[in-house]
Structure formats: C-alpha cells, structure tokens
Amino acid sequence: MKSDVTFDADSTTSSSSKYRIDYSVVMREIGALGKYQFLLVMMAYWVTIPCGINQVASVFLAATPSHRCALPPLDDSSLYPNLTEAQLKNYTLPLDTRTGDYDECKRYNYSLTSCTPGELNCISPYPPIPPKVIPIKCDKGFYYDTSVYTSTVTTEWNLVCDDVIIGSVVTAVFFAGVLLGSLVGGNIADIFGRCPTMLVGQLAMAAIGIGCAFAPNLVGFAALRFTLALFLQAGYIACFVYVMEITGEKWRTMIGINVQAVFAVGYMTLSGFAYAWRDWRDLQLAISFVPLPFVFFWFFLPESPRWLFSKGKVAKGKKISEMMAKRNGNHLSDDVWQRAEKAGQELSVNNSTQSEDSSNSYSPLELFRRRRMRLITINMMFNWFVNSLVYYGLSLNAGSLAGDDFVNNTLNGVVEFGAYLFVILTMDRFGRRIILCICLLTGGVACLAATVQPDLINLGTAFALIGKMAVSGSYAVIYNYTAELYPTVVRSTAVGLGSMAARVGSIITPF
C-alpha cells in the first residue's frame, strides 16, 4: 500500500499560543535514529502489516475457482459413481469459441430432470444437434471446483458469468473506503494524535473484520469492507506520520520507504493465512486478529513530541523528548531548548508572510493557473493514477497468473523488496526523474511482454513479476518527487491531489 501523506523535510515549527520551537534542533540532540527510536519505529510498523493483508485480501477471499453449470442429478456421485468430470463436461457443456475450453457459463438445454437415476437417457440426442439442442445459460446454479478453496465470496454468492461485475463493484467499494480514509485520516490524526488514531484504527479493523466473517449477505459484506478500509487508511496515515516525526531528516527517506516494505510483508503473510484457511469466512476471521498485538505495543509508544508541541502541550512534549534522548544515551540541556525556541521564533518571523499568503490565496486551482505548473500537475496526477492502477491491478490479479495462487501472491510481495532497495540506493545518487523514468519504462515493457506470448505462461508470470517490481519502485519515488516539485505553500495540496488520482486508479482496477 502506498500512503497518502508526505512529510515536509524542512525544519518544523511547533507552536502554542505562547511557545514556538524548531524541533529539528532538538531532534539533532536526541539522535536521528537512536536505538530507542528504532524500537518505536518497529512497534509502529506493525500497523502496516494488517493493512497489507486486508488491502489484497480479496485475492483469496473472492477467488474464482474453476466452475461450470450445476447439472442435477448428474452431479450426484451416489447416483452416477462411474461418470467422470471429463465425461460430464463432454456430454453437457458447449465449447467456448474464444478459449477452446468448455464454457463455464452455459450448458446444453437437455431436460436433466427427465434423467433416470444412473442412466444418461436424458442426454439425447448426442452429439447435440441444433436447433433441438442449443446452449443456454446456467439455470440450476453453478458447480465449483473445491480442491483449492472450499468456499469464497465469489462461490457463496455466485459472482460469476453475468454477475462477475458485482464482484468488481464490491472490490471498488473497498477502495472507495480507502479514498475516504485518505481524505479524513490525516485530519483525525492531527486532531486526536498519532497513537490514539493508530490504536482505534487497529481495534476497528479487528472488530469490523470479525463482522465481515459473519456477514449474512453481500451488501452487508461490502458495507463492512468499506468501513474497514476507512479505518485501515486512517491508521496507516497516522503510522506513516508518526515514524517520520520521531526520526531525523537523515533517515526519513528510508523510514518512509520501509513503511511500504512492511506493507509488502503483510500481504506476503496473507498467503500463509489463506493456505491454512481455505474457507473465506475462516480466513476473514483469522486475519481479523492480526491487528490486536498492536494493543500491547501501544502501551509502550509515546505520543509524537512534534504533535504535542503543535497542540501546546509543551510540558509533555519536553518530557517525552528528554526520555527519548536519555534512552538513546543522550541528554537535552536547557541550552538545547533555548536554541530550539530561538530558531522557532526566527522561523515564525520568516514564514509569517508566507503563511498569510497560503491561507488566503492558494487552492487546488492554483496548481493549474500557470502553464508550466499546469503541465507538471497533469503529469504528476497521471503518474499517480497509472502507478496505482498497475500496482493494484498486478496485486489483485495474482490468482490469474500461471501457477499456484499462494506462491504468486508471496512473490508479488518479495519483488517489492528488490524495488525498494534499488530506490534507496539510487534515488539520491541519480535523481528522482531518472529513476522514475527507468521504473516506469521497465514496468511498461514488462507488462506488455507478459501478454505477447500467452502460450508461454511461466514466462508471462515472470514478466508480470518484473512489472510489479518496477511499478513498486516508481510508486515509492513519486511520493518524494511530488513533494519536491512544488513550493511549500502548495505541497500538501499537490500530494493530496496526486493521492486522489491514485485512489481513482485503484477504484477502477477491479474493472
């Protein structure tokens, strides 16, 4: 998953009505990433694991196994013990002219109710002779292969053939919840704090996930998944901001990218859960308990000092800052606080005019007023949209690749680590634009190559994984690049606009 927030790497000024402080001065004395901060980051990262699991859970929850029309009484093995599946298909199903396989959505219009148990006298004439025997849509329901999945959302509510679009809508509804969570999650974390938002998000994900496992109908399931996505995204944003705020500028690129890497760990873990629980309700129930360990971690996570200072909670902010320094083996003297306050006052004076201008003048329309800014913004939005479309398209279609669903989903996560390592090692050295272009070009070529030789299915899977690795890298780059393309007064607006374009891409992915 890709977070819908960015963090301004400039010096941060936190203030109450009487107290202003440049916290970057304090952070330099605490340590950019000391052992205590490292421990806090590791505990906070847990939030992204259930996020990764739930974001791609539909790969297994809504998997579509091989299926055909239900053919009572021929499906009853007690009545037809010697009738093989291959014979049954050969007798009753037409061939799909597009694929050359048996049609999964039609059968010949034999009067199956006239079959004498154990006899095939109802299948007459055979071979089928039009117009007496013609293909018709499945009128008795569907028969599903249960060798891999005993039950899925798709099989329970028959979201196949003419109703396959309904399954796509359910997935799109989930990503609409992610969009809403993106819009409100940052504000919630700003109002109530980073740690409470993470805690509530994890508890809500657990409770709502359990509700999903017992959903009585598809509408209820879709509504619960929408709500789960909202809390998921709010908690994810709070986690991203938290780990960025408690670390120094030197480590922010790596810390931010590693949030996405731990997300990949989450959906790799999903493969293990899905392998163990083949019924979708059991699987949904099992993954709903993954957020709960964070409740234990929460008791050891101090609130972000930056947020505390921004809310005027100076005494608590100082106390936590001094505790962080002490556990890193450092000390915050009165001189450090005096220097931080002095720097904060200077920043306040320097930014006062700019702040007034930004509050009165700048809106999303400002990104389109000037020709150069307009072209940058359109290009940026297109990049976000395409990255999200391809990223989730490849992630959610792991079950469509040749080979084992569980292995493919795991590999989809593994390749992301290669992408993030590449980005970390090259982005600062060669620049954002070059690395972004390399990743996008590689991803595009790989995705096209995956479709060139459909007969070479293993080669197609390999190219799809290369495409996933490349688009994961470009997605990681676009966050930093967008923030750096715009001046401070419109930076958050630009990132928010890009994030909305990305969410649109993810919403239309299922279709």
Rank 116-130, 358-372, 425-439 by mean pLDDT and report only the highest: 425-439
pLDDT at 343: 86
Rank 360-374, 411-425, 490-504 by mean pLDDT and report only the highest: 411-425
Q: Which of 144, 162, 191 is the last residue of a domain?
A: 144
Q: Do residues 422 and 465 both lie within one domain?
A: yes
Considering the domain boundaries, does residue 129 fall inside one?
Answer: yes
pLDDT at 355: 46
Which residue did the predictor score with more confidence, 455 or 254? 254
Paired with 102 in beta bridges are 95
Q: Do residues 90 and 213 both lie within one domain?
A: no
Q: Are strands 142-144 and 13-15 parallel, antiparallel or unpaired?
A: unpaired
- Region 338-355 average pLDDT: 72
CB atoms within 10 A of CB 299: 9
CA distance 377 to 420: 25
- Region 265-286 average pLDDT: 97
Q: Do residues 48 and 73 both lie within one domain?
A: no
Looking at residue 100, what DSSP letter applies?
A: S
- pLDDT higher than threshold 70 for residue 360: no
pLDDT at 263: 94
Assign residue 118 a region: left if phi > 0, alpha if psi is -120 to 50, beta otherwise? Answer: left
Q: Which of 144, 177, 209 is the last residue of a domain?
A: 144
Confidence of residue 81 (pLDDT cuts 50, 70, 90): confident
CA distance 384 to 182: 14
Confidence of residue 2 (pLDDT cuts 50, 70, 90): low
What is the distance of C-alpha 317 from the center of its chain? 33
pLDDT at 16: 45
- Condensed to tens digits (0 to 9), the pLDDT of residues 446-474 reads 999 988 766 667 888 899 999 999 999 99
Confidence of residue 111 (pLDDT cuts 50, 70, 90): confident
Which residue did the predictor score with more confidence, 334 or 11? 334
- Beta carbons of 324 and 305 less than 8 angstroms apart: yes
pLDDT at 357: 45
- Beta carbons of 201 and 234 less than 8 angstroms apart: yes
- Condensed to tens digits (0 to 9), the pLDDT of residues 149-196 reads 999 999 999 999 999 999 999 999 999 999 999 888 888 998 999 999
pLDDT at 356: 44
Structural domain boundaries enclosing 116: 66-144
- Region 367-375 average pLDDT: 87
Q: Do residues 135 and 174 both lie within one domain?
A: no
Considering the domain boundaries, does residue 269 fall inside one?
Answer: no
Considering the domain boundaries, does residue 4 fall inside one?
Answer: yes
**Total residue length of the chain:** 511
Considering the domain boundaries, does residue 492 fall inside one?
Answer: yes
- Beta carbons of 148 and 67 less than 8 angstroms apart: no
Confidence of residue 18 (pLDDT cuts 50, 70, 90): low
**Percent of the chain at pLDDT above 70?**
92
Considering the domain boundaries, does residue 79 fall inside one?
Answer: yes
- Region 377-389 average pLDDT: 93
Q: Which of 215, 290, 288, 266 is CA-nearest to residue 56? A: 266
pLDDT at 182: 87
Q: Which of 28, 20, 29 is CA-nearest to residue 351? A: 20
CA distance 287 to 59: 14
Confidence of residue 397 (pLDDT cuts 50, 70, 90): confident
Rg of the chain over CA atoms, in angstroms? 27
pLDDT at 510: 87
pLDDT at 451: 82
- pLDDT higher than threshold 80 for residue 249: yes
CA distance 41 to 29: 18
CA distance 242 to 246: 6
pLDDT at 281: 98
- pLDDT higher than threshold 60 for residue 265: yes
pLDDT at 350: 62
Q: If you average pLDDT over every residue of the chain, what do you get?
A: 88
- Region 23-40 average pLDDT: 94
* N-term to C-term CA, the chain: 19
- pLDDT higher than threshold 60 for residue 17: no
pLDDT at 455: 66
Q: Which of 296, 297, 335, 303 is CA-nearest to residue 319? A: 303
pLDDT at 128: 82
- pLDDT higher than threshold 90 for residue 511: no
- pLDDT higher than threshold 80 for residue 377: yes
pLDDT at 139: 92
Confidence of residue 344 (pLDDT cuts 50, 70, 90): confident
Class of residue 287 by CB neighbours under 10 A (exposed 0-12, middle 13-18, buried 19+): buried
CA distance 448 to 406: 24
Class of residue 11 by CB neighbours under 10 A (exposed 0-12, middle 13-18, buried 19+): middle
Considering the domain boundaries, does residue 254 fall inside one?
Answer: no
**Percent of the chain at pLDDT above 90?**
62
Paired with 21 in beta bridges are 14
- Residue 256 makes CB contacts below 8 A (sequence gap 6+) with 3, 7, 240, 243, 244, 479, 480
Considering the domain boundaries, does residue 84 fall inside one?
Answer: yes
Domain total of the chain: 3
Domain harbouring 501, CATH code: 1.20.1250.20
- pLDDT higher than threshold 80 for residue 361: no
Q: Do residues 122 and 166 both lie within one domain?
A: no
Q: Which of 262, 278, 498, 505 is CA-nearest to residue 396? A: 505
- Condensed to tens digits (0 to 9), the pLDDT of residues 212-245 reads 999 999 999 999 999 999 999 999 989 998 999 9
pLDDT at 497: 85
Considering the domain boundaries, does residue 308 fall inside one?
Answer: yes
Q: Do residues 163 and 299 both lie within one domain?
A: yes
Q: Do residues 208 and 235 both lie within one domain?
A: yes
What are the structure tokens assigned to 465, written together? 């994984």
Q: Do residues 426 and 510 both lie within one domain?
A: yes
Confidence of residue 488 (pLDDT cuts 50, 70, 90): low
Confidence of residue 15 (pLDDT cuts 50, 70, 90): very low
Q: Which of 126, 144, 162 is the last residue of a domain?
A: 144
* pTM, rounded to two decimals: 0.89
- pLDDT higher than threshold 60 for residue 10: no
